[in-house]
Structures are given as C-alpha cells and as structure tokens.
Structure 1
Amino acid sequence: MHIEATAIVCAVRAHGEHGAVARLLTPEDGLQPGYVRGGHSRRLRPVLLPGNLVAADFRARSEEQLAGLTVELVHSRAGLFAEPLPAAAIEWVTALTATALPEGLAFPRLYPALDGVLAAIEAAPSARGWAGALVRYELLLLSELGFGLDLATCVATGGTEDLAWVSPRSGQAVSRAAGEPYAAKLLPLPHFLLHGGEAGWAEVSDALRLTGYFLERDLLSGPRGSVLDARERLVMRVRRLAEG
C-alpha cells in the first residue's frame, strides 16, 4: 500500500517513547492511519497539530498492516490555538472526523468541506463568520454516513415555505404553521441554514443544538460519545458570547 496526498491532520496519539499514530483525512482515500517515527518529538509535534495540512506519504506491505507515515508541513494553523474559540472549533471538527469516519473508505465530498471549514475559521474574526460552515459540515457528515436530514420540505404538508423547525424523530423540516402546536417538542431550524447570510448568536446556538442532537443520537453513542466533550467546550464558548 502506498498513498501520497496532501492531507488534513485529524487526530494524533503518542505511541511508544517517541512515535505517534496519526489519523489524516485524504482527498481520495478517506481517513488513513499511520505510524510516524519521531512523531512525538519536538520537531514533529508542531507539524502534527489537528487542522494542519501536510504532505503525507503512507507505505505498508499490505492493506492490513499499519502504514508507516512521513509528513512534511504544507500549511500550519498552529497560531489559531492561541485563541480559545478557534482552538475549540478546530479541536471539535477534527475530532469528529477522526471518530465518526470508518478508516480507508473514500468520502470525496468531506475533504474539501473540512478544508473549507478550517479555512473559514482561519479567515473569520468571529464564530458568526464560520459557524455556518461548521454546521453544514456536520450536516454533510451525517448525510455521507447515512443519517442525512431533510431540510427542504415540510414533513407534514410537503410544502417548502416558512420552514421553522425540525422533527427530532424523523430529521425532517416542519413549517411554522404545521409545527406551531408542537413547538416545544421540535428543534428550531435557523434561517441561515436554508437561505445563507450571516447568523446572529441565537441562530448559531440553535444550529449547534440542531446538529448536536442528531450527531449524539445517530453517530456518537456509546464509547464514541466521549468526543462530545470537545463539542460541549465549543458550545459553551459560543453560548457565553451569545449571552454577553
């Protein structure tokens, strides 16, 4: 097995005294694990930060063997880890990717989407500038893994106008008129997810609540649920901004 690609670092754990096992998202070969000799060293730790782009070279004698991995830095996002909110966003979106995706399966839509989220976090001064990209990535990941939400039409009427909620049972949109009697049991559907534009803090919080419900229910139950701690840290930081 030999894969060369520009890849996104999603997760790293120490292995032995100096090595590390890294899990990288590649454009054509999905999530790939590899052993990096010296990956826990002072030289390579800044390279193997989640969110960084690296030139990756995976080599193994068979598909079943953990590949040896060498990396060279292409683009660093290390500076963002000095800011609590961008750091929390990068920690969450890369951990989600590393946890939810099966290894070795291609998801060609996810690589550019994740790269776009990371670029948006890097470019925008406020979560209001990148929250939409992050939530849309979560929705795309749910869809790619077979748990997509239907936000285009009302589950009750089939209409497309004035969609205001999402049914937590079906994952389908509900119009304002049809959902009004059941509003307390429905999840708010933020306007910006359907029509674009910048979101207010309340809408950002609603969007994170919406995707968080389905991520926890459909993808991150059981042992995988420990990764939700990273999401909770992000949500709490956004909530403080919304309340402040």
Structure 2
Amino acid sequence: MHLSAPAIILSMRQHGEHGAIVRALTPDDGVQPGYVRGGRSRALRPVLQPGNLVQGNWRARTDAQLPALTIELTHSRAPLFAEPLPAAAIAWLTTLTVSTLPEAQPYPRLHAGLAAALDAIEAAPVARRWATLVARYELLLLAELGFGLALDACVATGVTDDLAWVSPRSGGAVSRAAAYGHEPRLLPLPAFLRDGGEAPDWPALFAALAITRHFLDRDLLRDRAADLLAARDRLGGLLARAAA
C-alpha cells in the first residue's frame, strides 16, 4: 500500500515512547491512519496539530498493517490555538469528523466542507460568519452518513413555502400552518439553513446549531455523545459570549 495525498490532520495519539498514530482526512481516500515515527518530538508536535494541512505519504507492506506515515507541513493553523474561540471550533470539527467517519471511505464533499470551514475560521474576524459554516458542515456530515434532514418541503402537507420548523423526530421541515399548536415540540428552522444566503443573525445561527446538535446526538454520536458533545457545548458557550 502506498498513498500520497494532501490531507487535513484530524487527530494525533501518542504511541510508544516516541511515536504517534495520526489520522488525517484526504480528498479522495477518506480518513487514513498512520504511524509517525518521532511524532512526539518537539519538531513534529506542531506539525501534527489538528486542522493543519499536510502532504502525507502512507506506506505499508500489507493491507492489515498500520502504514508508516511521513508528513510535510503545507499550511499551519497552530497560531489559531492561542485564541479560545477558534481553537474550540477547530477542535470540535476535527474531533467530530474523526469520531464519525469510517476509515478509507471517500467523502470528497466532506473534505471540501471541512476545508472551507477551517479556512473561514482562519480568515473571518467575526465569529458569526464562520460559525455559519460550522452549522452547514454538521448538516452535510449528517447527510453524507445517511441521516440527512428533509428541509425542502413540509413533512405533514408537502407544501414548500413558509417552512418555519423542524420535527425533532422525523428531521423534516414543518410549515407554519401545519405546526400551529405544536410549536413547543418543534425546533425553529432558520431560513438560511434551507435557502443559503448571507451570514444570519445570532438567533438564527443558534437555532441552526440547536438543530444539528439534536440530530448529531440522536443519530451519530450515541454512546459517545457525552464526551464528544462536551466539546460542542464548549464551543456553543464561547459563541454565546461572542454574541453577548
């Protein structure tokens, strides 16, 4: 097995006295694990920071063997970890990705979506702008893994206009008329999550994040929800401070 590809570092776990097991997301070959010799060294630890862009080379003699991985840094996002809000966002996105995607399965749309979200975190001075991409990435992840939400028509009536709510059971949109009297049981649907457009205001953004959190918890994270959602809730708390 020999694979050479650009990749986004997702996780690094110490292995042995000096090495590290690294998982990275490639555009065409999905999540790829590898053993990095000397990965715990002072020189390599900053390179293996989650969110960094690298050129990776994986080599193994058999498919059953953990590949040896050599890495060349192409772009570092390590300076962002000096700021709590960007650091929390990058940690959540990379942790969510590595915890839910099966290895060696191609997810080119997710690679593109994660890259776009990380680029926005790095480039946008206003958290409200890049947090929109966090919500969109979570929605895309659900869809790519078979748990997509149906937001284009009312699940009760089939109408396609005045969609204002999401059913927490079906994941389908609900029109304002069909929701009448049942609003406390439903999740508010912000228009941007369905229609796109400019960055929403904070209430709409938090409504979107509430939707994706609910379905991530229910459909993907399951037994791992408590540990993983702690990172998501930390990010939510920091965003709430930024909005205040």
Question: Does TM, normalized by the shorter one, top 0.5?
Answer: yes
Q: Deviation string for 1:47-103 (max 9, x for gaps)? A: 001100001000111111111100010001111111111111100000000000011
Pairwise CA distance, 1:166: 0.5
Q: Which residue of 2 aligns with 1:11?
A: 11
Q: Deviation string for 1:108-141 (max 9, x for gaps)? A: 2111111011001111112211122111111111
Q: Deviation string for 1:4-62 (max 9, x for gaps)? A: 00100001111111111010000111001100001111000110011000010001111
SS at match of 1:46: coil
Amino acid at match of 1:66: L
Pairwise CA distance, 1:240: 2.3
How do 1:149-168 residues align onto structure 2 when only pairs under 5 Å count? 149-168=149-168
Q: Which residue of 1 aligns with 2:22?
A: 22
Name the CA distance, whole Å, in 1 between partners of 2:123 and 2:163: 31
Q: Which residue of 2 aligns with 1:141?
A: 141
Name the CA distance, whole Å, in 2 between partners of 1:174 and 1:124: 33
Q: Which residue of 1 aligns with 2:228?
A: 227
Q: Which residue of 2 aligns with 1:215?
A: 216
Are 1:201 and 1:241, in contact at CA under 8 Å, matched by a contact in 2? no
Are 1:132 and 1:192, in contact at CA under 8 Å, matched by a contact in 2? no
Instruction: Single out whichever of 43-52 and 215-224 deviates more from structure 2.
Output: 215-224
SS at match of 1:94: helix
Instruction: Single out whichever of 189-198 and 2-11 deviates more from structure 2.
Output: 189-198
Q: Deviation string for 1:142-190 (max 9, x for gaps)? A: 1111111011111011111111110000000011121131110101111
Amino acid at match of 1:84: P
Are 2:217 and 2:225, in contact at CA under 8 Å, matched by a contact in 1? no
Aligned residues: CA RMSD: 1.1
Gap change, CA 1:26 and 1:225, over 3 Å in 2: farther
Are 2:54 and 2:73, in contact at CA under 8 Å, matched by a contact in 1? yes
Name the CA distance, whole Å, in 1 between partners of 2:38 and 2:230: 29
Pairwise CA distance, 1:232: 1.0
Name the CA distance, whole Å, in 1 between partners of 2:204 and 2:22: 35
Name the CA distance, whole Å, in 2 between partners of 1:65 and 1:218: 31
Q: Return the TM-score normalized by structure 2.
A: 0.97
SS at match of 1:109: helix
Amino acid at match of 1:125: P
SS at match of 2:180: helix
Name the CA distance, whole Å, in 1 between partners of 2:212 and 2:115: 19
- Matched length: 243
Are 2:127 and 2:242, in contact at CA under 8 Å, matched by a contact in 1? no
Runs (5+) with no aligned partner, structure 2: none
Q: Does 1:43 align with 2:57?
A: no
Q: Which residue of 1 aligns with 2:74?
A: 74
Name the CA distance, whole Å, in 2 between partners of 1:241 and 1:45: 30
Pairwise CA distance, 1:224: 5.5
Q: Deviation string for 1:191-233 (max 9, x for gaps)? A: 2212321111111111111100000100001136422211111
Amino acid at match of 1:215: L
Name the CA distance, whole Å, in 2 between partners of 1:143 and 1:201: 24
SS at match of 1:45: coil
Instruction: Single out whichever of 222-231 and 76-85 deviates more from structure 2.
Output: 222-231
SS at match of 1:181: coil
Q: Return the TM-score normalized by structure 1.
A: 0.97
Are 1:164 and 1:176, in contact at CA under 8 Å, matched by a contact in 2? yes
Q: Which residue of 2 aligns with 1:116?
A: 116
Name the CA distance, whole Å, in 1 between partners of 2:193 and 2:119: 19
Runs (5+) with no aligned partner, structure 1: none
SS at match of 1:113: helix
Q: Does 1:191 align with 2:182?
A: no
